[in-house]
Amino acid sequence: MDLLVASSNPGKVREYQTLLAEVPLRLVSLREVGLAEMQVEEDGDTLEANASLKAQAYARASSLPALADDTGLFVDALDGAPGIYPARYGGPSLTMAQRRQKLLHELGNTPDAQRTARFVCVIAVAHHDHLETVRGVCEGRIAQVEDGGREGFGYDAVFIPQGYAIPWSQVPVEEKNRISHRGQAARQIIPVLQRLVTSA
């Protein structure tokens, strides 16, 4: 059974291949079904709403079950900013590196104990008229400085997960998948996908 991963990021498709390896599904990308250029306006006011909008739109367009996710970063000392739009933080002209620097600048000399934050990921799966969502949360804090020499994307270089002294950019991928917000949500969506396969 094919499952469309509603993301234009090839790295995310590969990540889900690992996270959902136990489900007998073939994950396909938007490019494979000719929908790479399709844009879905994410105008919901919650992560659930935006993930659902994407999953339903791509499921209708492809006639395949579709999986979409939406992620937010909520920093307590900034009243929840960047919130549900972390990739738009600071405006459309900023690079991701500039967004990380803006976040660190806004926090300034805030002590570690007050730099608490959490990543939240909502995964939605849509198939015909059926829609289900799940939510994963990873607690942590924002680092005082960016980890400049490591791999990672988004806010990985400034987010230190709870129980760790290093940012995500230094955490091995297998370990990150185990504790991350997306990893937690993926584990919750597995039974949903297994039911889909069984009923196909």
The strand ranges marked E within the chain are 2-5, 26-28, 66-75, 82-83, 116-127, 130-142, 159-161
58 touches 40 (CB < 8 A):
yes
* Cβ-based burial of 150 (10 A; exposed 0-12, middle 13-18, buried ≥19): middle
Does residue 69 have an active-site annotation? no
Peptide bond into 172 cis (omega under 30): no
143 touches 158 (CB < 8 A):
yes
146 touches 101 (CB < 8 A):
yes
Neighbours of 145 (CB within 10 A): 9
Q: Which of 70, 129, 147, 156 is catalytic?
A: 70
Q: What is the CA radius of gyration of the chain?
A: 17
Enumerate the active-site residues.
70
